[in-house]
Amino acid sequence: MTLAKIRKVYSKVDNKSIAKQLGMTTHENATPIRVIHNSAGHLLGPARSLGGVVIGYLGVRVFTPQPVSKVIQTVGGCNVLMGLIAMARDVESLYAGVKALVCVLKSNPFSRSEMEQITGYQVLAMLLRKKSSFLNSHILHLIFTLVGTIDSTKEVCGIPNLPAFRDLLCDLELWHQAPVEVEKSLFEHFFELISDSGIQRSSNNIKIL
């Protein structure tokens, strides 16, 4: 089937519609086009939906919706998100970059494994050190969420993400360069961890710190 044959077999309306989408003339008679009929419902006249159109000999391409946390692996993984953080030029863009990274890491175990393999938390700490003037309590809270010491959906037991805790929160030089209130919030969080109501959890946190 070609555009010229579609013009003869179906209608000029279908022919023009497909030609416009493909950027071809309505009389094109060389490029093979395969028509997948629409069996859901046939309407009369120009309102009739022809169905799917497959161009050339490459077959049908199927697109399956996937969450961003999975799709990100196909375009570079965590390195892409760290690139967004590196390009941040203000507080808003830095917050957006860190939030995107945290959301992906919290929902995709493969990304968390990748971050550990590429020592990504150390790289993130280095990037944040360069953006220390943009750090605020909201970004610090995102780091708490990444480490897992703050989670509104469940009760936190200990320190779930030790590599992130060690490379990010325990990098005191990083937070010393941040505004005073941010550094104060960090130390207050440390105090909360070691004064946990659970004796076992408290002692474990003290050993880690």
Q: Give the pLDDT of the chain (209 residues) as one tens digit per residue.
A: 788 887 888 778 778 877 887 788 888 888 877 666 555 445 455 444 444 444 554 444 444 667 878 888 888 889 999 999 999 999 999 999 999 999 999 999 999 999 999 999 999 999 999 999 999 999 999 999 999 888 766 565 678 899 999 999 999 999 999 999 999 999 999 888 887 655 455 556 556 65
- For position 199, what pLDDT does the model report? 44
Burial bucket for residue 17 (CB in 10 Å: 0-12, 13-18, 19+): middle
Residue 204 corresponds to which tokens in the numbers above?
């474990």
- For position 64, what pLDDT does the model report? 60
**Dihedral over Cα of 111, 105, 183, 149: its sign:** negative
The CA distance from 55 to 60, in Å, is: 9
- For position 32, what pLDDT does the model report? 78
pTM assigned to the model: 0.65
- For position 167, what pLDDT does the model report? 95
Angular region, 103: left φ>0, alpha ψ -120 to 50, beta rest: alpha
- For position 168, what pLDDT does the model report? 95
Q: Could you tell me where the beta strands, DSSP code E, fall in the chain?
A: 33-37, 51-55
Nearest CA among 60, 59, 41 for reference residue 51: 41
- For position 75, what pLDDT does the model report? 83
Pairing of strands 51-55, 33-37: antiparallel
Which residues are within 8 A (CB) of 28 and not within 5 positions of it... i.e. 6 or more apart?
Answer: 2, 3, 4, 19
Nearest CA among 24, 76, 92, 73 for reference residue 53: 24
Distance of CA 98 to the CA centre of its chain: 11
